[in-house]
Amino acid sequence: MTEETNWKQFLTENVLHEVWHEPRITENSRCSCGRPYHLGTPYDHCNRRYDNELDMMELYRHIYKYMEWSLFASKTYARVFVPYCNEEDIFPNDFMAWLFCLDGADYESKCKMIAEFYGYEEKK
HSE on the CB side for 56, CA within 13 Å?
Answer: 18
- pLDDT value of position 61: 98
Task: With CA atoms as reference, report the closest residue to 56 among 13, 102, 91.
Answer: 102
pLDDT, one tens digit for every residue, the chain (124 residues): 566 669 999 999 999 999 898 876 666 667 777 677 666 665 667 899 999 999 999 999 999 999 999 999 999 999 999 998 888 877 878 899 999 999 999 999 999 999 999 999 987 6
* Cβ contacts of 71-76, under 8 Å, gap ≥ 24: 72/114, 72/117, 73/99, 75/117, 76/113, 76/117
Compute and round to an integer the Cα radius of gyration of the chain.
17
Provide the Cα torsion 62, 119, 2, 33; round to 10°. -50
- pLDDT value of position 84: 87
CB 111 within 8 A of CB 15: no
Q: What is the pTM of this model?
A: 0.85
